[in-house]
Chain A
Amino acid sequence: MGALQSYRLRLQRQRWRIRAFRKRRDLKAISDRTDQIRDTDIMVFSTLRNEKVRLPYFLDYYRKMGVGHFVIVDNDSTDGSLDYLCGQSDVSVWHTKASYKRARFGVDWLNWLQRKHAHGHWTLVVDPDEFLVYPFCDTRPLRALTDWLDASSIKSFSAMLLDMYPKGRLDEQPYEEGRDPIEIASWFDSGNYTMRKNKKFGNLWIQGGPRSRVFFGDEPAKAPALNKIPLVKWDRKYTYVSSTHMLLPRGLNQVYDEWGGEKASGVLLHAKFIDTFTLKAAEELARSQHYSASVEYKAYADSMRDDPELWCKWSEKYINWRQLEILGLMSKGNWA
C-alpha cells in the first residue's frame, strides 16, 4: 500500500469521525449509566428498533458471557423497548428519532458513543439477533478470550455472520420472550460461502449461506456480506466503516492469515429468520431505511410470499462451537 493510499484512508477515517461527531446531536441520553463502567469491563454496543421481545434473552446471553455494560441506541421503538432498557441496571440508553439510513445504518451513532465511552475497552458491536460464539465459549468466559487476545497483541477478532433458520415455515413456531431463538432457528448452511479480498480496506468479503441460496440464486453478487469484525479493543481513533464489516485503520481488518495458517475466529449466530421476520420485513420495506434501497428486504418479501422455507435436506443442525470448528466455519487458531 502506497503512501498516497494510506493518506486517503486516513482522510476517510477522519471523515467518518467528523460525521460521527455531527451525528451526536441525533442522540438523546435517556438513561446514562456510563459512570458505572469499570476499567476492565467488556462492553456491548447495539442499535435497535422494536426488538422488545428479543431483549431479555439477548441481554442475558451476553451477561452470562461476562459483558459488563451495554450501550444501546433506540431508534424510536414503539413496542416498549426503551422502557424495558431503562429498567436494566447495566444498560445505558440513547434515543433518537433521526433516520437510520442517514446515520449510515446506525454506524455513525455507535462510532460516536464508542469514541466517547469505549476507549481502552474490549467492545462487541452486535444486533439483538446476533449471538457470538467463540472457541471454548462453553467453558471459558469472554474475558479469557480478550485476555488472550491482549497477550497475543491482537486488537480485533473476526466472527462471521451465520444465518440460522428453522425447519419448516418461518412462522410455524412463534418466538416467546426470554427464549433462546437458536432453539427455533437451529439450522444453517455449512459449506456454500465465497470470499474475496477487498483490496482497499484489506478485509475479506464473504457471501453465501441461505440468503444467497434462496433470495439471490441468480444474482449472487448482490447477496449480503457476512464478514464481521464485532470484537475490537477499542481506541477513540478507530471507526467502523460499513456496519461491522470493516474498520479503519485497515490493519484491524487483517483478521485472516494469508500464509496458510488459521487465526482464531468465532461466529455470530444470526437468528433473524424466526416468526418475527415476516412482520419486520414488511415494516422495513415500508420504511425503506436499509442498505442499498432495501434490496434485501424486497427480495425477501418476494420470495417469502410464496414459500417461506429456507431449510433444505443438506442443512446442518447447530450443536455447539466445536461442530462449527470442524466444519471450518470458525477456528481455534493457536488458542488451546
Chain B
Amino acid sequence: MLVHTALNRAEQVARHWTAAGCPVVIHVDRNVPRATYKSFEQIMSDDPLIRFCKRHRCEWGTWGIVAASQSASEMMLETFPQASHIYLASGSCLPLRPVQELVEYLAARPRTDFIESATTAEVPWTVGGLDQERFTLRFPFSWKRNRYLFDRYVELQRSLGLKRKIPTGLVPHMGSQWWCLTRQTLSAILQDPERDTYDRYFKRVWIPDESYYQSLTRVYSTNVESRSLTLSKFDFQGKPHIFYDDHLQLLRRSDCFVARKIWPHANRLYQAFLTDSSASMKRTEPNPGKIDRIFAKAVERRTRGRAGLYMQSRFPNLDWENGVTCNPYSVFEGFAELFDNFDTWLAKATGARVHGHVFSPDRAEYSGGQKMISGALSDSAAKRDYDPRAFLTSMIWNTRGERQCFQFGPQDTQDIGWMVARDPNAQVSVISGAWAVPLFRSNRNFADLRKDAAELQKIESKHLDTLRSADAKARIRIWTMAEFIEAPMEPLQTIIDEIGQANPRRLTEAPTMVDLEGFGQFLQNLKNQGMHPYLMGDFPVEHGPVYMPKPPRKPYLVQ
C-alpha cells in the first residue's frame, strides 16, 4: 500500500485488510515528515500483519513510485510466505466488496496476473502526446517542478533525433499502475539477473509506474489478464476522478473489488464499505456501466461542452463552439412580405413557434405580440442590439425543444447575418427582392420609395453575398421572387419537410399570396427612375406572372 496523505484513512483500510487475514506492507512517501511517519508506525505496531518498508521519495511520473513498490514487494515476498497474490493499492483505495470475496476469487485463479497491459500503439489514453516517445527519450527533469526544462529537453532530443535503445527482449507495454500479480511473476521480475539493466532503463522512462510492471509481466507471466481489479477513472488531464459520499449507490453497484480514489473526508463511503457486516454489503444488481457513463460524460462536458451555450465558464472562440446554437431554427426572408398571414399559416403547418421580425429596428416581434419570451428575454431593441449574437443564441437556448422560426429582411438590424450563415442549425430560406412588395403596396411618394428600394437592395445584396460565401454552413435556399411565384408549393413543401414536425402529410393549404397585379409595372417605374431592381428576377411589365389567378383567391387544396 503506497501512502502519502490522509494517514488515518490508510490506517483504517490497512486494518480492514488485515482483519480478513491479508498481510499489508505500507510504503510511506519520504515527503511525509519523519515525526508523522514515526507516530503512524507506532500506532500500527500492534498489528503483526502490518509492516513498513524502506521509504522513497515519490513524485508523480518518476521512478520513486516504482522503487517504492519494489521495496514493498520484496518485503512482502520475504516476510509473508503465505502470500500468493500481491495487490498494489494506494492509501486512497477502498475495498468495495468483502475481502473474503477477493480472496476466493484469486484462489480460484492461482496463475492469473491481473494487470492492465497494452502496447503503446494500441491505446488512446496517453495525455500530452508522449506515447512511444516515453520509451525512447530520456526524462531527467521533473514535469511538475521543471516543466520548462522538461519540454525543452524533449524538443532537443527530438530535433537531434536522439533515441534510447530499449533493452532486448522487452516490448514496452502500458496500463493502470494498480495491479495484482502472482508470487511467481512478481518474484521473477524482482529476482531477474537482468533487473539492473531494466531498472536503469526504466529510471529514465516517462511515468515508469505505468510501464515497468506492465512490460516485465509480459516477459514472465504465463497468464496475463489485461485489466485492473481496481476501479479507477481518469479525466481528460489524466488525473484520477475522486469518489464522494454521493457516489455510494454507484459504487455499491459496481462489481469491482477496489475503487480509487476516495476523498479522505468521504465519511459515509468509508463507513459503508469498511463495516464488513453482510447487511451493509448486500449487493444490488451490479451496474458498472453507470460509473463509466457518468465519468465519460464529465470528460465530454469539460472538453466539448453543451452546444450553443455561452456562459460564465464556457465562452468559446470563433469556430470552437461545437455548434453555434443549440437547436435547429428557421429564418424566412421575404415570405411574410409575399404572403398574407404567413406566420399563422406556418405555425399551423409545422407546429413550430413562429415569430415576426425579431430583429426589427423597433422591437423584437415575438410570436403573438409577446413582450418577453422564455428566459425573460425582453423585446427591447436596445437590449437586443447591445449584443445581437447573444440575443439569438439565448433565444434558441431558452426555447430548447421547440423549433423557432422568424422573419428577417433588409429592413432589420443586420448584425447577425454572418453568424446565421455559418451556423449549421440555421435553415435560411430567401425570396430575394420580396422587400419591394410592401413598397409597392404602400401609398407613399415615389421619390421616397425609390430611395428606400435602392437602400434595401444594397443591404440585401450584401446579405446574399454572405449567405453565398464559401464558409456558410447553414442550409440556405435562395430564390428570386420571379422564380418563386412561378411554383411556390414545391419550395414550401421542401422547407416544411425539412422542419419535419407535426405534419408528415403533404401540404394541403397554401398561404395566400398578396395581389401582385401591377407589380411588374412598379418595377419598371423604378427602372425608369434610374434605380435598377434586379434581386427579384425578371418580371414582365404588362401583367402579373402567369401563375397568379385573378382576384383574391381562396386557399385551395393541392393533392
Nearest-Cβ distance from residue B321 to partner chain A, whole angstroms: 6
Q: Does A333 contact B (CB under 8 A)?
A: yes
Q: Does B277 contact A (CB under 8 A)?
A: no
With contacts A160-B312, A227-B312 known, is A328 near B306, CB below 8 A? yes
Chain A residue at minimal CB-CB distance from B383:
A220
Binds A, one of B160-168, B186-194, B296-304, B492-500: B296-304
Binds B, one of A137-145, A275-283, A284-292: A137-145
Q: Does B105 contact A (CB under 8 A)?
A: no
Q: Does B158 contact A (CB under 8 A)?
A: no
The 25 sampled A-B contact pairs (Cβ below 8 Å) are A139-B246, A141-B265, A144-B244, A152-B237, A189-B376, A191-B377, A192-B375, A194-B386, A195-B312, A197-B315, A204-B312, A213-B376, A219-B382, A221-B386, A255-B312, A257-B313, A258-B320, A262-B305, A262-B313, A264-B313, A328-B311, A329-B312, A330-B311, A336-B297, A336-B298
Q: 4 tightest CB-CB pairs across the interface, nearest first?
A: A191-B375, A334-B302, A336-B298, A265-B313
* Chain B 314-334 near chain A by CB (<8 Å), digits 1 or 0: 111100111000000000000
Which of B295, B301, B322, B375 is within 8 Å of A333, CB to CB?
Answer: B301
Residues of A within 8 A of B380 (CB): 217-218, 220
CA A261 to CA B246, docked complex, whole Å: 25
Q: A147-B265, A256-B314, A314-B374 are in contact. List 17 more A-B contacts (CB 8 A).
A: A139-B246, A141-B265, A160-B312, A191-B375, A192-B377, A193-B394, A194-B386, A197-B315, A213-B376, A218-B380, A260-B314, A261-B302, A328-B311, A331-B314, A332-B301, A333-B298, A336-B295
Q: Does B434 contact A (CB under 8 A)?
A: no
The answer to whether B305 touches A190, judged by C-beta atoms less than 8 angstroms apart, is no
Chain A residue at minimal CB-CB distance from B247:
A336
CA A192 to CA B245, docked complex, whole Å: 35
* Chain B 254-269 near chain A by CB (<8 Å), digits 1 or 0: 0000000001010000
The answer to whether A193 touches B390, judged by C-beta atoms less than 8 angstroms apart, is yes
The answer to whether A262 touches B302, judged by C-beta atoms less than 8 angstroms apart, is yes
Please report which residues of chain B, range 229-284, place their CB below 8 angstroms from some CB of chain A when the two chains form the complex.
235-237, 239, 241-242, 244-246, 263, 265
Of A140, A158, A255, A259, the most chain B CB neighbours within 10 A belong to A259
Q: Does B310 contact A (CB under 8 A)?
A: yes
The answer to whether B314 touches A262, judged by C-beta atoms less than 8 angstroms apart, is yes
CA A210 to CA B383, docked complex, whole Å: 12
The answer to whether B246 touches A263, judged by C-beta atoms less than 8 angstroms apart, is no
Q: Does B90 contact A (CB under 8 A)?
A: no
CA A195 to CA B380, docked complex, whole Å: 17
Q: Does A61 contact B (CB under 8 A)?
A: no
* Chain B 378-397 near chain A by CB (<8 Å), digits 1 or 0: 10101100110011001001
Chain A residue at minimal CB-CB distance from B233:
A336
Q: Does B107 contact A (CB under 8 A)?
A: no
Of B373, B376, B386, the most chain A CB neighbours within 10 A belong to B376
Residues of A within 8 A of B306 (CB): 262, 328
Residues of B within 8 A of A217 (CB): 378, 380, 382-383
Chain B residue at minimal CB-CB distance from A196:
B387
Which of A136, A140, A151, A195 is within 8 Å of B390, CB to CB?
Answer: A195
The answer to whether A220 touches B386, judged by C-beta atoms less than 8 angstroms apart, is yes
Residues of A within 8 A of B245 (CB): 139-140
With contacts A139-B245, A334-B236 known, is A158 near B317, CB below 8 A? no
Looking at chain A's contact residues, is the secondary structure mostly helix, strand, loop, or mixed? Answer: loop
Q: Does A212 contact B (CB under 8 A)?
A: yes
Q: Does A84 contact B (CB under 8 A)?
A: no
Q: Does B83 contact A (CB under 8 A)?
A: no
Residues of B within 8 A of A204 (CB): 312, 315
The answer to whether B298 touches A332, judged by C-beta atoms less than 8 angstroms apart, is yes
Q: Does A313 contact B (CB under 8 A)?
A: yes
Nearest-Cβ distance from residue A92 to partner chain B, whole angstroms: 25
Nearest-Cβ distance from residue B231 to partner chain A, whole angstroms: 14
With contacts A256-B315, A328-B311 known, is A191 near B398, CB below 8 A? yes
Which of B242, B301, B376 is within 8 Å of A192, CB to CB?
Answer: B376
Residues of B within 8 A of A197 (CB): 315
Nearest-Cβ distance from residue B127 to partner chain A, whole angstroms: 13
Which of B242, B309, B376 is within 8 Å of A151, CB to CB?
Answer: B242
Q: Does B20 contact A (CB under 8 A)?
A: no
Residues of A within 8 A of B383 (CB): 192, 212-213, 217, 220
Which of A263, A314, A331 is within 8 Å of B372, CB to CB?
Answer: A314
The answer to whether B382 touches A334, judged by C-beta atoms less than 8 angstroms apart, is no
Q: Does B294 contact A (CB under 8 A)?
A: yes
The answer to whether A191 touches B382, judged by C-beta atoms less than 8 angstroms apart, is no
Chain A residue at minimal CB-CB distance from B374:
A314
Residues of A within 8 A of B390 (CB): 193-195
Of B299, B317, B377, the most chain A CB neighbours within 10 A belong to B377
Residues of A within 8 A of B386 (CB): 194, 220-221
Residues of A within 8 A of B242 (CB): 147-148, 151
Nearest-Cβ distance from residue B7 to partner chain A, whole angstroms: 15
The answer to whether A261 touches B387, judged by C-beta atoms less than 8 angstroms apart, is no
Q: Does A315 contact B (CB under 8 A)?
A: yes
The answer to whether A334 touches B301, judged by C-beta atoms less than 8 angstroms apart, is yes
CA A262 to CA B465, docked complex, whole Å: 34
With contacts A258-B320, A261-B301 known, is A218 near B397, CB below 8 A? no
Chain B residue at minimal CB-CB distance from A136:
B246
CA A151 to CA B92, docked complex, whole Å: 14
Nearest-Cβ distance from residue A49 to partner chain B, whole angstroms: 28
Which of A191, A331, A335 is within 8 Å of B376, CB to CB?
Answer: A191
CA A220 to CA B383, docked complex, whole Å: 6
Residues of A within 8 A of B239 (CB): 151-152
Nearest-Cβ distance from residue B415 to partner chain A, whole angstroms: 13
Please report which residues of chain A, range 176-201, place their CB below 8 angstroms from some CB of chain B when the two chains form the complex.
189-197
Chain A residue at minimal CB-CB distance from B372:
A314
* Chain B 506-534 near chain A by CB (<8 Å), digits 1 or 0: 00000000000000000000000000000
Q: Does A11 contact B (CB under 8 A)?
A: no
Which of A206, A328, A333 is within 8 Å of B397, CB to CB?
Answer: A328
Q: Does A312 contact B (CB under 8 A)?
A: yes
The answer to whether B315 touches A195, judged by C-beta atoms less than 8 angstroms apart, is yes
The answer to whether A312 touches B309, judged by C-beta atoms less than 8 angstroms apart, is no
Nearest-Cβ distance from residue B438 to partner chain A, whole angstroms: 28
CA A227 to CA B315, docked complex, whole Å: 13
Chain B residue at minimal CB-CB distance from A335:
B298
* Chain B 471-495 near chain A by CB (<8 Å), digits 1 or 0: 0000000000000000000000000
Nearest-Cβ distance from residue A3 to partner chain B, whole angstroms: 17
The answer to whether A257 touches B237, judged by C-beta atoms less than 8 angstroms apart, is no
Residues of B within 8 A of A210 (CB): 376
CA A151 to CA B6, docked complex, whole Å: 14
Nearest-Cβ distance from residue A331 to partner chain B, whole angstroms: 5
CA A315 to CA B376, docked complex, whole Å: 6
CA A141 to CA B310, docked complex, whole Å: 28
Residues of B within 8 A of A264 (CB): 313
CA A263 to CA B309, docked complex, whole Å: 12
Residues of A within 8 A of B303 (CB): 260-261, 334
CA A157 to CA B482, docked complex, whole Å: 58
With contacts A147-B263, A313-B372 known, is A333 near B302, CB below 8 A? yes
Nearest-Cβ distance from residue A166 to partner chain B, whole angstroms: 15
Chain A residue at minimal CB-CB distance from B396:
A191
Nearest-Cβ distance from residue B355 to partner chain A, whole angstroms: 15
Nearest-Cβ distance from residue B115 to partner chain A, whole angstroms: 26
Nearest-Cβ distance from residue A265 to partner chain B, whole angstroms: 4
* Chain B 438-452 near chain A by CB (<8 Å), digits 1 or 0: 000000000000000
Residues of A within 8 A of B374 (CB): 190-191, 314
Which of B241, B314, B320, B391 is within 8 Å of A336, CB to CB?
Answer: B241
Chain B residue at minimal CB-CB distance from A218:
B382
